[in-house]
Chain A
Amino acid sequence: MKLLIDSHSAYAYTGGKTFDPERPCVVFVHGALHDHSVWTLLARWFAHHGCSVLALDLPGHGRSEGQALPSIEALGAWLWRVLDGAGASQATLLGHSMGSLIALAAAAQAPQRCQQLVMVGTAYPMKVSEALLNTAREQPLKAIDMVNVFSHSRMASKPSYPGPGSWLQGGNRQLMRRMQTGYTHGNLFEHDFKVCDGYAGGLDAAARVHCPVRFILGAHDQMTQARQARALAQALNAQVSLLPCGHALMTEVPELLLATLREVIPTGVPSAASVHASTQ
């Protein structure tokens, strides 16, 4: 699905279903140097279980055009403009890593529109070390390799993502490289990291959020360690789920993540019969 937002084409994956603004809406927000494809299994599942989904490509990432936006707050505001364009008045906001901060900022900007907030692989503040920022600036491919190692907790994660036979480290590396080389306005990796590093509005935003909040964290996460999310979780009065994985929760434990999200997100009509019929 493509929308014209701020004079630029914005892409959102809708999970193999036509977006219906009358259904409960779930918005998936990716992290640094990623795109919608980190969410496709989950997005497809919710789209086929009573929800309408928008798995976004942030500006300058994947299929969305334009320059990357300069701050978490700007990205939160952009998110609501996408939902306005799609005709969705309210939504569950679900973000990973940098995307979790965007979802938080958006929830704070329009609390009445955010039904639930789910922050996956998050931390606050999301500081990036000076060394990694420098590497991202000067040797982005090396920085991608480093982050790729930090993001994965093991050499085998079953049933793998998006399916058996996929080597997660290889897939993530190529996705990040694709985002980096496909961006024509500068160094996207450095930009995304700076956006994460520079976000200082987390606790203020938390004070404005009224909806239920769930944190889903990786017990072995080296990028956003679970203990670094504690203060924000308390400020948001969030329930916290800890899964046995690293930062790449969507790909390392897709089944556990789905099971956790099914506890959190109402799915409208989870009729096995209707789902079965749609796959024939």
Chain B
Amino acid sequence: MSGYADPGFDTLALHAGAEPDPSTGARAVPLHLSTSFVFENSEHAASLFNMERAGHVYSRISNPTNAVFEERMAALEGGIGAIATASGQAALHLAICTLAGAGSHIVASSALYGGSHNLLHYTLARFGIETSFVRPGDMDAWRAAIRPHTKLLFGETLGNPGLDVLDIGQVSEIAHAAGLPLLVDSTLTTPYLIRPFEHGADLVYHSATKFLCGHGTVVGGVLIDGGSFDWQAAHDRSVAELRSRALDSAGTVAAYAARFTELCEPYAGFHGMVFSEESTVGAFLLRARREGLRDFGACMSPHTAWLILQGIETLSLRMQRHVSNAQLVAEFLSAQPQVAQVGYPGLPAHPSHALATRLMPRGCGSVFSFDLKGDRAQGQRFIEALKIFSHLANVGDCRSLVIHPASTTHFRMDDAALVQAGITPGTIRLSIGLEDADDLIADLKAALKFAFK
């Protein structure tokens, strides 16, 4: 490297974390399909296990191909490091379980992907982790929902299903004022459209299955640490607050009841290691890898990492086409008499348009919903008439995708319940791909005509 500035986005997307393989000269990132890695001798083995030396031991914990993906994502997001996971849901789970346990509390946006909502509302509650949901634009609600045992705030860059844009700056200010980190799901935007750390987020994760991979081939996730949140300071502050309130029955401060003891107090599961002493800025990632991957085991296959790396190499080129196609399709749909509304922040009528323009000047993704002025049957007829769009439950593919929530993901709900979920019987979700925009618009036009014939 030379010059006074960091390399640009496209350079990092191609080079960060990888160089020509020193043993073979291979220029592309090699795929290391090996569960484990040979020790030089028993002293080397012990040093690796004891975190005296860096290196690979077993691919559940780390793998050379995965490491390239992790380092590249950290570079693209402006973070300090990352952990590849089995899926986006595994990344969310890893983030939460590194910081929270039974008795912990989370404040989350109510505009979440359904799987994330399920995890927080039902599954983690079963393990004693409670979540309060707030409307993402209601700053007073974010503030009011924080409790002494809250461990993090959580939202999506573009909320589901209406694409409410999260005001990361405002929510992170609320979080930081309370000594808490903000976790952001940036799946629908990718670092090409927004880098949440630059706006105040502390942890970012992606379902890498979507735009990062970009070709609909593999399932994976990634959790990135911005390295800016001072866990030790937040812990010390929490201990001081406890001290000011009460002493425990033994007459001493209950330091283990404080926030972020997982990072700032000795961890019996690793020889009493205090992660915040081992790494001033990387304590979270150390614990997440050394506990979360080790014990929960939701690691990424190196083959998956390798395929996602192929996608990342063209991320900026693809995202430019995704958002330009999405804008054209959204504008087309908003002008059709059979369409009640289009929920795309790139349109001036969207409630988050101004915020999206400020936070995501390159575009606000290519996944959005629109409402047909019809019933469930017309929604189904519309979907079935499409020829280029594929009817399936995914987003972020290079091919355009469509789903009708009322007859699929939300089919058990009656019409009233659908409205509660922000969905109408005629809601259609699109994921706009890389095809010629004219062909996509022609496909939609023909399907609209068929559905309302």
Contact = CB atoms under 8 A, between A and B. Distances in A.
A35 B230 CA distance: 14
A154 B7 CA distance: 11
A45 B53 CA distance: 7
A87 interface: no
B127 interface: no
A167 B16 contact: yes
A160 B83 CA distance: 13
Interface in A57-82: 62
Given A178-B281, A272-B46, A170 B74 contact: yes
Interface residues of B, number: 59
Interface string B50-87: 11111110000011101110110011001111111000
Interface stretch (A99-107, A114-122, A144-152): A144-152
Contacts of A166: 71, 74, 80-81, 282, 285
Interface in B253-272: 271-272
Contact of A174 (B43, B45, B50, B281): B281
Q: How large is the interface on A (under 10, 10 to 19, 20 to 34, 35 or more residues)?
A: 35 or more
Given A145-B5, A175-B280, A258-B53, A158 B64 contact: yes
A114 B106 CA distance: 52
Contact of A156 (B16, B45, B74, B84): B16
22 contacts: A36-B280, A40-B277, A40-B278, A146-B4, A152-B1, A155-B15, A158-B64, A162-B286, A165-B66, A166-B71, A166-B80, A167-B16, A170-B81, A171-B227, A178-B228, A178-B281, A272-B41, A276-B42, A278-B50, A279-B46, A279-B49, A279-B271
B56 A164 contact: yes
Interface of chain A: mostly helix, strand, loop or mixed: helix
B169 interface: no
A148 B281 CA distance: 15
Chain B CB within 10 A, most for which of A13, A48, A166, A169:
A166
Contact of B53 (A35, A174, A255): A255
Contacts of A148: 6
A163 interface: yes
A190 B74 CA distance: 28
A174 B228 contact: yes
Interface string A4-35: 00000000010010000000000000000001
B278 A162 contact: yes
B8 to A, nearest CB: 12
B278 to A, nearest CB: 5
A164 B49 CA distance: 13
A44 interface: yes
Interface of B: 1, 3-7, 12, 15-19, 41-43, 45-47, 49-56, 62-64, 66-68, 70-71, 74-75, 78-84, 226-228, 230, 271-273, 277-282, 285-286, 289
Nearest to A13: B277
Contacts of A156: 15-19, 68, 71
Interface of chain B: mostly helix, strand, loop or mixed: loop
Given A160-B67, A166-B74, A155 B289 contact: no
A56 to B, nearest CB: 13
A215 B55 CA distance: 26
Contact of B289 (A40, A146, A163): A163
A218 interface: no
Given A48-B50, A159-B54, A167 B228 contact: no
A255 B53 CA distance: 7
B43 A170 contact: no
A171 B282 contact: yes
Contacts of A171: 80-81, 227, 281-282
Contacts of B230: 178, 182
Chain B CB within 10 A, most for which of A36, A148, A165:
A165
B82 to A, nearest CB: 6
Given A155-B12, A155-B15, A174-B227, A16 B271 contact: yes
Given A167-B71, A279-B49, 18 more contacts: A40-B277, A45-B52, A62-B280, A149-B5, A155-B7, A158-B67, A159-B67, A160-B54, A162-B282, A165-B62, A165-B67, A167-B75, A169-B75, A170-B227, A177-B228, A254-B54, A255-B55, A275-B47
A187 interface: no
Contact of B80 (A16, A167, A270, A276): A167
A180 interface: no
